């Protein structure tokens, strides 16, 4: 089984570089937009420290595990910062990603906006033990390069905004450097600038008489080496944002349903989500689990930006 998984990863990784997904996939962007859009940096008045763990297709041998540590918050008038460290491990393939970005804050009437830019460093590497597998040719140039580690640099840009605290929207265009290189190597008529992106729009209803909030939203995702997908979301919050719930239905190349729960205790927040794939592959795994811990730290700069 290990050999089969490894060969599948190698096939997935061919074409002059490791062809794994360039962006980590999260269910909890409903609570943490910074995971998918650098423009969200500093949008809230507080600093936020976030730890996220995701186990995709848990129980299946070599199932992907993703660890993310992120910080974002206002660092100067009209300026937000995001720093993010991410590590993915799937079978014998490991990917490390480091990201740093800035977001500029401005207003257009009742619309509060952020425009952001982030730079990334990524490293793909095969585990040392993989090279010793009897089914692998250690002299293959791609295998040898992957064992030493393949390094990439990338950028992403985005915008995020809210109108009167109700309508919210965001767009992040990702993988810009790799996409431009692809366009030079294999020119096409398709526009390369907006080739890979996340687009998100939703509305926030405050039900004051019952002390809860309903937020329906739609996220459209087109990412490298990931099927085109659309998320239909509903997020709920109760008791002055002390309890949270959510539901996501994902339609597209790999359909799934996600259930989300969360709670807030002072400045500490805890979230858990469980994904069930609406595909035959669900029979061979225990679903996907995602856990987030976040801490909010008050910021004087952030209060002045509001």
CA–CA dist 292, 303 (Å, integer): 25
- Global pTM? 0.84
State which CATH number among 3.90.800.10, 3.90.25.10, 2.40.160.40, 2.60.120.260 fits the domain covering 2-305.
2.40.160.40
Domain boundaries, the chain: 2-305
Tell me what pLDDT residue 18 has: 36
Cα angle 109, 304, 46; round to 5: 105
Burial tier of 253 (Cβ tally within 10 Å: 0-12, 13-18, 19+)? exposed
CA–CA dist 45, 283 (Å, integer): 44
Tell me what pLDDT residue 305 has: 66
Burial code of 157-177, b = ≥16 C-beta within 10 A, e = fewer?
A: bbbbbbeeeeebbbbbbbbbe
| Per-residue pLDDT of the chain in tens (306 residues, 90 and over written 9) | 344 344 343 333 333 233 444 566 899 999 999 999 999 999 999 999 999 999 988 888 888 999 999 999 999 999 999 999 999 988 778 889 999 999 999 999 999 999 999 999 998 887 766 666 666 666 666 666 666 778 889 999 999 999 998 999 999 998 887 655 555 445 555 556 678 999 999 999 998 777 889 999 999 999 887 888 999 999 999 988 899 999 999 998 788 999 999 999 999 999 999 999 888 888 888 889 999 999 999 887 766 666
CA–CA dist 51, 40 (Å, integer): 17
Tokens representing 136 are 């692998």
Tokens representing 125 are 């590497």
Name all contacts of 258-266 with Cβ < 8 Å and 24+ positions apart. Answer: 258/27, 260/27, 260/28, 260/30, 260/31, 260/235, 262/31, 262/292
Tokens representing 61 are 């041998």
CB 289 within 8 A of CB 273: yes
93: helix, strand or coil:
strand
Q: Would you give the distance in Å from CA 6 to the centre of its chain?
A: 25
Host H or E run for residue 218:
strand 212-222
Cβ-Cβ contacts under 8 Å for 57 (sequence gap 6 or more): 63, 64, 277, 281, 284, 285, 286, 287, 288
CB 196 within 8 A of CB 224: yes
CB 258 within 8 A of CB 264: no
Tokens representing 11 are 């096939």
Q: Please state the φ and ψ torsions of residue 141, each to the nearest 5 degrees.
A: -60, -40
Q: Which residue has the tokens 């950028």?
A: 155
* Each residue's pLDDT tens digit, 124-173: 887 766 666 666 666 666 666 666 778 889 999 999 999 998 999 999 99
Q: Which residue has the tokens 């294999």?
A: 186
Tell me what pLDDT residue 288 has: 93
* Other beta carbons within 10 Å of 254: 14
CA–CA dist 103, 81 (Å, integer): 6
């Amino acid at each position: 089984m290990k050999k089969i998984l490894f060969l599948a990863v190698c096939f997935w990784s061919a074409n002059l570089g490791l062809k794994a997904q360039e962006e980590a996939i999260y269910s909890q962007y409903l609570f943490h937009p910074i995971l998918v859009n650098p423009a969200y940096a500093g949008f809230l008045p507080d600093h936020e420290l976030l730890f996220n763990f995701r186990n995709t297709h848990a129980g299946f041998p070599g199932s992907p595990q993703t660890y993310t540590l992120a910080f974002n918050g206002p660092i100067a008038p009209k300026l937000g910062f995001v720093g993010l460290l991410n590590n993915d491990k799937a079978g014998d393939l490991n990917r490390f990603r480091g990201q740093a970005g800035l977001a500029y804050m401005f207003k257009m009437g009742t619309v509060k906006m952020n425009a952001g830019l982030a730079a990334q460093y990524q490293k793909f590497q095969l585990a040392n033990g993989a090279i010793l597998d009897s089914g692998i040719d250690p002299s293959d140039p791609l295998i040898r390069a992957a064992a030493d580690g393949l390094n990439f640099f990338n950028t992403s840009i985005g915008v995020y905004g809210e109108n009167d605290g109700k309508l919210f929207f965001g767009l992040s265009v990702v993988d810009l450097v790799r996409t431009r290189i692809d366009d030079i190597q294999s020119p096409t008529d398709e526009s390369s600038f907006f080739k890979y992106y996340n687009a998100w729009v939703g509305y926030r209803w405050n039900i004051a008489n019952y002390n809860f909030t309903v937020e329906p939203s739609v996220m459209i995702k087109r990412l490298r080496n990931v099927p085109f997908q659309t998320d239909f979301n509903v997020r709920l919050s109760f008791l002055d944002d002390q309890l949270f719930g959510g539901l996501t239905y994902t339609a597209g190349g790999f359909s799934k349903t996600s259930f989300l729960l969360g709670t807030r205790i002072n400045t500490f927040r805890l979230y858990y989500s469980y994904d069930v794939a609406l595909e035959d592959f669900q029979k061979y795994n225990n679903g996907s689990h995602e856990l987030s811990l976040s801490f909010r730290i008050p910021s004087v700069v952030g209060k002045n930006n509001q």
